[in-house]
Amino acid sequence: MLPHTLNKMIAKVKKSEVWGSVEAPPSKSYTHRAIVIGSLGQYSRIEGPLLSADTLATVGACRAMGAEINVKDRELEIAGVIGRPKVPDDVINAANSGTTLRLCMSMASLAEGATVFTGDASLRKRPNGPLIQALNDLGAICYSTRFNGLAPIVVQGVLQGGEVTIGGGISSQFISSLLISCPFAKRGTVIKVEGELKSRPYVEVTLEMIEKAGGSVATDFREFHIESDQEYSLKSYRVPGDFSSASYMMAAGALAGKVTVNNLFESRQGDAAIMEHLLEMGANVYWDREKGSVTVEQAELKGIDVDVGKTPDLVPTLAVLAACAKGKTHITNAAHVRYKETDRLHAITVELKKMGADIVEEPDGLVITGGKLKGASVEGYDDHRIVMALAVAGLAASGTISISTAESVSISYPGFFDDLKRIGAKVEL
């Protein structure tokens, strides 16, 4: 089900004590990559994928480009296009999902014809200029219909390969996109990154998945060297748990009781850093790596300095924790957090202020002085991470908070409110 077909929902959350354990949902980032890489390959079987609005948008896009994808309850079976996607019969709607749009743009550049991508109102505001430019530099034809770097976007093959330079400051998804599809270009490709590569762990996840599928990329993270004529096959791949989704449940434990999140084993996900941040803030955190379970217990929290260059998706969670911590938290290196489903630096500032927080928005960060939160009517901006972070804030606030667009949790964590209730949160939908 795509988000724009869902009914609007308000979530009411009251101050609560939470206690118990939940399963981290499967990783959204790994699932997207498994679907696209599987679709470009021959045959793949993906166990335990995340089935959410965003990953189903990727399934739809890859099917439109010719992949046969059998969606079962806990498994995806893919008969891929072996490097040669077909030209879709219709426009591809990537809905709310930046990863779908960006990863599938390069895939479409391998087709002998034109593919048109669009998305919902949020996605049509998110920048794609550097990827559009890079695809043109590599011999495809690619343009925004409004010539402003935004979707709708037309991509026409065929990708030739060659050398390209791309800025690292807006989205790592541009680089992930090229890395996944360039092995099927006519000749080899060299991608050079200019400036700091923001969100780098997501590129590491991409490289891990390419390798698992039998592909290879040589890199020092400034340059990526990719040979042509490669093949992919993810014979039997199991998706790991999602640390970004787990961060809300960990924060719930840190603010309102004790929560164990299972299905969290070692992986390349940058957002595993939430555990270090919680420890530094003073929460009790215990990670049993063998069992894959993380337990977080409430304690008095203190403010910290935190650079989120590698972990933009943690910002809403960190902002809520900081608003309840003693002293000052400085979130830095966060300019790229403005290019998400909404401008998350602005959204979380405005909404936490309604709850009484002392929070100052900087061009590339936030300064938050902790205190007490109170009930309020807050906006979710159709943004799953803003909604989930505000719900956690509600556990620690006096009174009740009402959060609009609560249905957007279906983007990455469809069972979010059920899990919150399971650990004792007072939630009404």
Ligand X SMILES: C=C(OP(=O)(O)O)C(=O)O
Ligand Y SMILES: O=C(O)C1=C[C@@H](OP(=O)(O)O)[C@@H](O)[C@H](O)C1
Binding residues for phosphoenolpyruvate: 28, 98, 126, 173, 344, 385
CB distance 248 to 389 below 8 Å: yes
Q: CA separation (Å) from 411 to 45, 54, 309?
A: 23, 5, 23
Stretch that binds ligand X, among 96-104, 159-167, 329-337, 371-379 (CB under 6 A): 96-104
- Say whether residue 99 binds ligand X (CB under 6 A): yes
Select from 85, 312, 365, 375 the one that contacts ligand Y (CB under 6 A): 312
Stretch that binds ligand X, among 56-64, 92-100, 109-117, 200-208 (CB under 6 A): 92-100
Query: Which residue number, 16 or 172, has a Cβ lying nearer to ligand Y?
Result: 172
Question: x/- contact string, 330-349, with ligand Y (CB under 6 A)?
Answer: ------x-------------
**To 5 degrees, how large is the angle CA 397–CA 328–CA 333?**
105
Classified as helix, coil or strand, 426 is: strand
- Say whether residue 55 binds ligand X (CB under 6 A): no
CB of 108: closest distance to ligand Y in angstroms? Answer: 17
Catalytic hit among 313, 382, 383, 419: 313
CB distance 66 to 89 below 8 Å: no
Query: Which residue number, 313 or 379, has a Cβ lying nearer to ligand Y?
Result: 313
CB of 385: closest distance to ligand X in angstroms? Answer: 5
Cα end-to-end span (Å), the chain: 19
d(CA 254, CA 284): 8
Residue with tokens 């020092």: 220
Select from 183, 340, 416, 427 the one that contacts ligand X (CB under 6 A): 340
Transcribe 68-120 into DSSP letters: EEEE-SSEEEEE--TT-PPPPSS-EE-TT-HHHHHHHHHHHTTSSSEEEEE--
Q: Give the strand pairing for 141-144 and 114-118.
A: unpaired
Which is it for the CA torsion 145, 151, 152, 155, positive or negative?
A: positive
Q: CA separation (Å) from 230 to 62, 92, 188, 217?
A: 19, 26, 10, 10
Q: Which of ligand Y, ligand X, none has residue 202 at its interface (CB below 5 to 8 Å by kind)?
A: ligand Y
- Report DSSP state, residue 358: E
Alpha carbon 208 to its chain's center: 17
Query: Which residue number, 139 or 312, has a Cβ lying nearer to ligand Y?
Result: 312
- Say whether residue 310 binds ligand X (CB under 6 A): no
- 388-417 binders of ligand X (CB under 6 A): 412
- 72-101 binders of ligand Y (CB under 6 A): 99
Query: Which residue number, 249 or 283, has a Cβ lying nearer to ligand Y?
Result: 249
- Say whether residue 313 binds ligand Y (CB under 6 A): yes
Which is it for the CA torsion 318, 323, 328, 333, positive or negative?
A: positive
Q: Is 313 a catalytic residue?
A: yes
| Binding site residue list for 3-phosphoshikimate | 28-29, 33, 171-173, 199, 313, 340
Select from 200, 258, 310, 385 the one that contacts ligand X (CB under 6 A): 385
- Report DSSP state, residue 154: E
- Say whether residue 247 binds ligand X (CB under 6 A): no
Stretch that binds ligand Y, among 105-113, 127-135, 172-180, 287-295 (CB under 6 A): 172-180
For the annotated catalytic residues, the residue numbers are 313
Q: Which residues are near ligand Y by CB under 6 A?
A: 29, 32, 99, 171-173, 176, 198-199, 202, 312-313, 336
Q: Which residues are near ligand X by CB under 6 A?
A: 54, 97-99, 313, 340-341, 385, 412
